[in-house]
């Protein structure tokens, strides 16, 4: 890998060298966020002469070959695609937990129920710390290590902090986590503790944690690992490459992604645009973003002014991973939705809970924030936006064990209030599988079995 990248501001298009990046990753001129570009070949640089383009067939072959290698960087589902993310000077800087190479599952039941025959889930919850954050974390934390930082830090709704803590521990670095007190799932908090992060629970929400951290990075030599860090997004491009590879380089018609801080949708969009630009694929899927109704600033912005401006909201949803009212990367997400012809949708708490149960019933499972994708798909079908013949991929972002409290409350019937159930009550009831408490008695268990079989 060479030092071949520069950074372009997504607001005013100013290009800077990576040494000139400020500690908050914002443009000194306009305050917007940067994106990594590779002058030799990237879309943004607008290279007209194709002489520096890598050969698509050779790349496809190389990426597949690397899966059989015993070298750690080849075994990583992020770094085996390192030709499209040359952000490090030295490959020895790589910090990897063998992230990526996650499964693309066919969703048979949901396909039958929705009428979409080719329906898949790309399960990023099957990463080492149980969420999609690992693919971005291996990239940005390796950069932090290469640049000599001792401390890394993030504000988080839980998954970023779990991933950061693990990768920092792996690299022998220290990590500072700021999380909203009482507002993240226990599984995620336990991971930050387990991996040894300095874990500060602040009496505020996620957006409040972001504000505090902005001041910390100005005053202390810590490297910021929130998704405003453009290197995170280079790692988060790789699930898009895997999806294309797993579908024999035929791009799906539609990719549906949950929206929180809105970085992931933009990373995947960047990847699909780059793949097409390089001739690896012949088109870009529609990329749609789905938010929870109570944490829907992008949805509101698209309705009000087609994504020209955004008004922060006070966020409320049980899908705690996406309980974000003031998303940092909203402008990047708007660009991807517009460039790909996708849409932005919102879904209710009951729709999220039902969709999560349905994904669980496939034997796959996911955390609540991931289930907005299936709930959103149903809305798109209802609005006539997606046809039965289309190939659709749902991006599942987190593992079902991240938030087991949510699942247990759902099946016990304690999760949703009556006024939230509305028209979905009977569908939700039919998916609930409450445990039965019995004496240690064979006949009692046999009776339960008979009842269940009826
Ligand atoms: N799904 C899960 C499971 C998440 O943890 C997040 C974000 C998202 C979706 C939304 O992705 O922010 O790129 O739009 N979690 C962050 C965190 C904010 O701190 O773990 P996004």
> For the chain, what are the domain ranges?
104-130+233-431
SS3 120: strand
Q: How many CB atoms lie within 10 A of CB 67?
A: 12
Q: Is the pLDDT of residue 1 over 80?
A: no
Residues 109, 357 contacting (CB under 8 angstroms): no
Q: Tell me the per-residue pLDDT of 392-411, one tens digit each, with 9 for 90 and over.
A: 999 999 999 999 999 999 99
Residue 393, sorted as left (phi over 0), alpha (psi -120 to 50) or beta, turns out to be beta
The helix/strand/coil state of 349 is helix
Residues of the chain with pLDDT > 90: what percent?
A: 94
288 against 50, higher pLDDT: 288
From 239, 260, 319, 365, the mutation candidate for ligand 1 (largest count of ligand atoms within 8 A of CB) is 260
CATH number of 104-130+233-431: 3.40.50.1100
| pLDDT for res 50 | 60
Confidence class of residue 52 from pLDDT cuts 50, 70 and 90? confident
| Mean pLDDT (whole number) for 318-327 | 97
pLDDT digits (tens, 9 = 90+) for 333-389: 999 999 999 999 999 999 999 999 999 999 999 999 999 999 999 999 999 999 999
- Mean pLDDT of the chain, nearest integer: 96
Is the four-CA dihedral 29, 33, 36, 40 of positive or negative sign?
negative
User: Which pLDDT does position 49 carry in this prediction?
Assistant: 54
Q: Is the CB of 158 under 6 A from ligand 1?
A: yes
Would the CB of 259 count as within 6 Å of ligand 1?
yes
- Contacts of 385 by beta carbon, 8 Å cutoff, 6+ apart: 343
Q: Say if residue 274's pLDDT is above 90.
A: yes
Q: Note the residue count of the chain.
A: 454
Closest CA to 87 of 42, 27, 23: 42
Strands 15-16 and 151-155: unpaired
Nearest to 231 by CA among 39, 335, 82: 82
For β-strands 254-258 and 104-106, DSSP reports them as: unpaired
Render pLDDT for 206-218 as a digit per residue (tens, 0 to 9): 999 999 999 999 9
Kindly report, residue by residue over 66-94, the tens digit of the pLDDT.
999 999 999 999 999 999 999 999 999 99
Residue with CA closest to ligand 1 atom 15: 321
Distance of CA 260 from the midpoint of ligand 1 (Å): 5
408-423 pLDDT, tens digit each = 999 999 999 999 998 9
């Amino acid at each position: 890998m060479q030092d071949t990248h520069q950074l372009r501001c997504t607001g005013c298009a100013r290009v800077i060298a990576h040494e000139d990046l400020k500690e908050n990753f914002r443009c000194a001129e306009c305050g917007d966020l940067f994106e990594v570009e590779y002058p030799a070949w990237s879309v943004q640089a607008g290279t007209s002469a194709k002489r520096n383009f890598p050969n698509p067939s050779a790349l496809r072959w190389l990426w597949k070959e690397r899966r059989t290698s015993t070298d750690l960087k080849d075994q990583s589902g992020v770094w085996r695609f390192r030709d499209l993310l040359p952000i490090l000077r030295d490959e020895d800087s790589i910090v990897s937990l063998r992230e990526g190479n996650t499964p693309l599952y066919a969703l048979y039941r949901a396909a039958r129920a929705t009428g979409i025959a080719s329906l898949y889930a790309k399960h990023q919850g099957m990463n080492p710390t149980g969420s999609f954050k690992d693919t971005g974390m291996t990239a940005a934390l390796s950069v932090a290590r290469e640049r000599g930082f001792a401390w890394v830090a993030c504000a988080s709704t839980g998954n970023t902090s779990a991933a950061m803590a693990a990768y920092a521990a792996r690299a022998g670095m220290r990590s500072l986590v700021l999380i909203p007190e009482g507002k993240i799932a226990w599984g995620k908090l336990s991971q930050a503790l387990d991996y040894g992060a300095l874990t500060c629970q602040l009496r505020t929400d996620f957006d409040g944690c972001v504000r505090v951290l902005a001041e910390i990075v100005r005053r202390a030599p810590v490297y910021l690992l929130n998704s405003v860090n453009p290197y995170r997004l280079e790692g988060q491009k790789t699930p898009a490459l895997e999806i294309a590879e797993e579908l024999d380089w035929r791009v799906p018609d539609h990719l549906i992604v949950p929206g929180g801080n809105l970085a992931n949708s933009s990373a995947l969009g960047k990847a699909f645009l780059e793949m097409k630009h390089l001739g690896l694929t012949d088109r870009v899927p529609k990329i749609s973003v789905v938010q929870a109704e109570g944490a829907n600033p992008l949805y509101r912005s698209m309705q009000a002014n087609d994504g020209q401006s955004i008004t922060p909201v006070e966020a409320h949803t049980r899908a705690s991973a996406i309980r974000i009212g003031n998303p940092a990367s909203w402008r990047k997400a708007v660009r991807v939705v517009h460039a790909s012809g996708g849409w932005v949708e919102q879904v209710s708490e009951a729709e999220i809970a039902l969709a999560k149960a349905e994904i669980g019933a496939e034997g796959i499972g996911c955390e609540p924030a991931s289930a907005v994708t299936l709930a959103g798909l149903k809305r798109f079908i209802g609005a006539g936006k997606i046809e039965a013949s289309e190939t659709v991929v749902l991006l599942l972002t987190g593992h079902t064990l991240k938030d087991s409290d949510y699942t247990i409350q759902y099946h016990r019937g304690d999760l949703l209030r009556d006024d939230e159930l509305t028209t979905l009550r009977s569908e939700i009831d039919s998916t609930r599988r409450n445990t039965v408490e019995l004496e240690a008695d064979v006949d009692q268990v046999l009776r339960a079995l008979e009842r269940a079989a009826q």
